[in-house]
Structure 1
Amino acid sequence: METSGAATLHENEPHRNDLAQRLNWLRAGVLGANDGIVSVAAIVVGVAGVTTDSGPILIAGAAGMVGGAISMALGEYVSVSSQKDSQEALISKERRELEEEPEEELEELAAIYQAKGLSAETARTVALELTKHDALAAHLSAELNIDETDIVSPWHAAFASFVAFLIGAVLPMLAILLPPENIRVQLTFGAVLVALAITGALGAWIGGGSKLKAAVRVVVGGALALAATFLLGNLLGASGVV
C-alpha cells in the first residue's frame, strides 16, 4: 500500500495546536459561567435577605449581570493582550536573530534536538531540514513552543468571557424571580449548587483532574458565598440600616 507523508496525519483527528486552543476556550467558558453563577447568585440572595420585593432583586441582579460581564471581559482582554504582546515580542526577537546570526541559530536548534536524545549528526540533519522548510517556525516551536499562526486574540477572549458570564448569571436570576416568594431563596440555593457541581466537574474533565473533588470545591465555595450574603442581607434588614 502506498503512503505519503501527508497521509500520516489522520484527516478527522484533532492535533495538538487545534485541540489545545479548543480546550483553552472551553475552559475559559466554564470558568466564566461559574463566575456568573456565583457572583449574581450572591447578589440576588443577599438582596432577598433584606426584602421579598422582586423589584430591588431584579435591579440588583441585572446590575450584577451587566457589571460582572463587562468586568470579566475587560479583565480577559487586558490579560490576553499582555500575553499576545509577549508572544509577538518573542517572535520578532527570534526573526531578528535568524536574520543576524543564522549559523548560531542553526547550531542552537541542533543542540535542542541533541538534548532530546538525537545523535549530533541526526540532530544537525533535522535542524538543517527544518530550517530549509521554515526556519522561524522551527525555532519558535523548539525553543518557545509558540506557533506563529496561533496567536491569541484579546477580542475573542473578551467576547467569550462576556457571553459565558451572562449565560451563567441567567440561572440565579430565573431561580430567584420565578418561584413563589416563600421558597425562592431555597430553590436558588439548590439550583446554584447543582449548577456549580456541573461546572466544577466539567472543568475538571477538561483539565483531566478529579471531577468529584472539583465539584465539591466549587459547591462548598458557592454555598459559603450564598450563605454569607444572605446572612448579611438579613442582618442589615433586621438592623434597620436598609
Structure 2
Amino acid sequence: MAIEKPCRGVREVMGVMELSDAAIATSGDYRQWVDIGGQTYAHTMNPVTGAPLRNSLTAVSVVAASCMLADAWATALLVLGEIEGPRLAQKRGMDAFTERADLARERAELANDPKAEHIELANIYIQRGVSPELAHQVADQLMAHDALGSHARDELGISETLTAKPLQAALASAASFVVGAALPLAVTFIAPTDSVVPWICGMSLVFLGSLGAVAARAGGASVVIGAWRVTLWGVLAMGITALVGSLFGAVV
C-alpha cells in the first residue's frame, strides 16, 4: 500500500507499506480545500470552533482492523492536532503516521527547486555570521546528508530537542501532582488537631500562590498576576467543593 505525499498539486508516493488483514486510511487538508482571498480553508471542520480546521498537521494515516475505523480515527487525530493526536494514538496503541503542514511544504519546495532552497539555507548561515563561501559549503554538505532535516531545523526551528515528548510530559505531570499533593499532606502532620482543616486550606492557598509565582517567573510573565490568578482559582475551587458538600450533607 502506497502513502501519498501530502502536498497540494503533487501526486507522488511518499512511502510504501505491507498490510495483512488490516486497512489504512488517510485524512488531510491537501486535496479538498478552497482558496478565499488568498487564504486556504480545509474541508475538515473543527467541531469545537465550528470553523474549518487550522493546525500544523496536513495529513494523518491510521492502520486499523477496518477501513471505516481507520478513516474515523485518521480524521479524529487530524482534528486533535500535532500534540494531542499522536498522544492519543500512542495511548491506544494505534499505528498512526502524521505529517506536519510546514514539513510537507518544505519537502515540495526541495523537490521543485532545490537550488533556491540551497541558497535559502546558505543565507540563514550567513545571517548568523558565517562567511558566504563557508555558508554555501555547509549548506551543500548538510543538504547532501539530510536536506529536509537541515531545513526543518534551521529554517523552521523543528528539532528533536523541541519536539513534544508525550512520555516526558506524562512523567513531569505525574511528578508535579505528587509534589502538589505532598505539600498539603505534610501540613496535616504539623497542624493542631483541632484546626487541621483551616490550616490545610490556608497553606494550600499559600502553596498555590507560590507555585503560580514560580511558573510565571519561569515563563517570563508577571509574578504577581501569576500568583493571584492561581490563588483565585484555588479559592473558587475550594468554595465550590465546600458548597457541594454542604448542599448534599457529605464530605467532598
Taking structure 1 as the reference length, what is the TM-score of the superposition?
A: 0.50
Q: Taking CA–CA contacts closer than 8 Å with sequence separation of 6 or more, which of the two structures ends up with the larger relative contact order?
A: 1
Q: Which is strand-richer, 1 or 2?
A: 2
